[in-house]
A and B are shown apart, each in its own frame.
Chain A
Amino acid sequence: DTGVSQDPRHKITKRGQNVTFRCDPISEHNRLYWYRQTLGQGPEFLTYFQNEAQLEKSRLLSDRFSAERPKGSFSTLEIQRTEQGDSAMYLCASSSVGGGANSPLHFGNGTRLTVT
């Protein structure tokens, strides 16, 4: 178990630019989640995948955000035309299907995005 890894750890970009983050889940986990965390707040759910299918998207995920998990392994989260309000920590998590609510989510260390 090598854990969930996210890349990059930090990203600074100028307003209006596009950014893409990558997440590699724990290899045997078929559920993958993206969360956003701002300062002083708990993580907020953005979207999740079961295998390669994106099954739910939060209303927080505007049309500038898109996520993919093309082969049911790693996932990417792209933000187009970034805005200063997009500055946050973006967290990826994975879990296995079998245990339902009893299967804890395993989180990566996150990608901190700063939009200037």
Chain B
Amino acid sequence: GNSVTQMEGPVTLSEEAFLTINCTYTATGYPSLFWYVQYPGEGLQLLLKATKADDKGSNKGFEATYRKETTSFHLEKGSVQVSDSAVYFCALSDYSNSGYALNFGKGTSLLVTP
């Protein structure tokens, strides 16, 4: 079945540091890949997505590249801010998921300190 594995947190970084959160996946077919973010007290928000191999999703300075050869979709940001403190979830969807529902990883908590 489909599954997502992401690095465990919490991750603590100083402001302006480089961020990488690793995500790998197992899928039946050719999934679409997503990163969602959950800020404290808020719901899940789509951060970025990629729908085929070698696509790069980007938003708010975050990037992730769909790597089929390594079944990975690592999230990166060159310079994090305190406001990026949140929980980040990697997710996938493909035709074998009911109604294209998402399979989520366990989430990685990021804390950025001034």
- Using CB atoms and an 8 Å cutoff, list the residues of chain A in contact with chain B: 4, 31, 33, 40-45, 48, 50, 55-56, 91, 93, 95, 100-110
Contact = CB atoms under 8 A, between A and B. Distances in A.
A26 B85 CA distance: 27
A55 B99 contact: yes
Interface in B59-103: 89, 91, 93-95, 97-103
Interface residues of B, number: 28
Nearest to A89: B43
Contacts of A42: 4, 89, 91, 104-107
Contacts of A41: 106-107
Contacts of B36: 107
Interface of B: 4, 31-32, 34, 36, 42-46, 49, 51, 89, 91, 93-95, 97-107
A44 B89 CA distance: 12
B102 to A, nearest CB: 6
Given A56-B101, A108-B43, 16 more contacts: A4-B43, A33-B101, A40-B106, A40-B107, A41-B106, A41-B107, A42-B4, A42-B104, A42-B107, A43-B44, A44-B104, A45-B102, A101-B31, A101-B32, A101-B100, A105-B102
